[in-house]
Structure 1
Amino acid sequence: MSPPLIVVLNGPNLNMLGVREPEKYGTATLDDVEALCAETAEEYGLAIDFRQTNAEGELVTWIQECRGRAAGIVINPAGYTTTSIAVMDALLAVDLPVIEVHITNIHRREEFRHNSYVSKAATGVICGLGVTGYALAIRAMADLVEQDEE
């Protein structure tokens, strides 16, 4: 039997990690984040599918494809956090555990970043811990998947 699949989705501009505002987002690249997620998933007996897009419609399609395929979703919706009802609706429709991740603490930033549509569909939210938040999300997802299997 294959290990449970966790889909790790990344929204717009995260392909610029490492060069975009390193004082806020750090110097780790998206490739570094993917390696961290792969290592953490392996440690917990999970498989991952790691993706990034700048297109809202593509992100919605990927979320929909998780239904019946994945055990859970880890998502950093980036700029779609505060704007995309479509992403929220897709997450609600797939009926899977969802962990929302943000590299920065969105609650310490500009006020428009404080309201997350995605949080309304998320099982949990991790923010402000840098890219380590991804590893914590996968660890938490391992616990959620184990609970679902019991």
Structure 2
Amino acid sequence: MNPPLIVVLNGPNLNMLGVREPEKYGTATLDDVEALCAEAAEEFGLAIDFRQTNSEGELVTWVQECRGRAAGIIINPAGYTTTSIALLDALLLTELPVIEVHITNIHRREEFRHHSYVSKAATGVICGLGISGYALAMRAMAELVGEDED
């Protein structure tokens, strides 16, 4: 039996981790985040599909493809957090557990970052814990997916 597939999606500018505002986002790269997710997935008996895009339409398509394919979604929507109703709608239609992750604490930042459309589809939200938030999301997803199998 194949391990449950968790799709880890990353939105715009996350390909610039390690370069973009290291005082806020740290010096880890997206490759480091992927390695952390792969390690956590292995620890919790999960498979991952890790992706990043700067395109809203591509992100929405990837979310739609999760329906019937994946057991859950971990998403850092980045700039689309506060703007994308299309992403919200796609996440809702998957009917999957969704964990929203942000490297920074969006509630300690500019006012416009405090509202998340994605949170309306999310089972849970992790923010402000740096890239370790992804590993925590993987742990939580393992528990959520395990509950679904029972």
The TM-score, its normalising length taken from structure 2, stands at 1.00
Match of 2:59 in 1: 59
Instruction: Confirm whether residue 133 of structure 1 aligns to residue 126 of structure 2.
Output: no
AA in 2 matched with 1:30: L
Q: What number of residue pairs does the alignment pair up? A: 150
Match of 1:100 in 2: 100
- The structural deviation recorded for 1:58 is 0.1
In structure 1, C-alpha distance between the alignment counterparts of 2:141 and 2:94, rounded to whole Å: 16
Give every structure 1 segment of 4 or more consecutive aligned residues whose post-TM-superposition deviation is greater than 6 Å. Answer: none
SS in 1 for 2:58: helix
In structure 2, C-alpha distance between the alignment counterparts of 1:42 and 1:19, rounded to whole Å: 28
AA in 2 matched with 1:77: P
* Unaligned residue ranges in structure 1 (runs of 5+): none
Over aligned residues, Cα RMSD in angstroms?
0.2
- The structural deviation recorded for 1:42 is 0.2
Match of 1:13 in 2: 13
* Unaligned residue ranges in structure 2 (runs of 5+): none
- The structural deviation recorded for 1:85 is 0.2
Match of 1:25 in 2: 25
- The structural deviation recorded for 1:2 is 0.5
In structure 2, C-alpha distance between the alignment counterparts of 1:149 and 1:143, rounded to whole Å: 10
The TM-score, its normalising length taken from structure 1, stands at 1.00
In structure 2, C-alpha distance between the alignment counterparts of 1:102 and 1:72, rounded to whole Å: 17
Match of 2:37 in 1: 37
Match of 1:85 in 2: 85
Identity between Structure 1 and Structure 2 (%): 87
SS in 2 for 1:19: coil
In structure 1, C-alpha distance between the alignment counterparts of 2:139 and 2:130, rounded to whole Å: 15
In structure 2, C-alpha distance between the alignment counterparts of 1:129 and 1:62, rounded to whole Å: 26
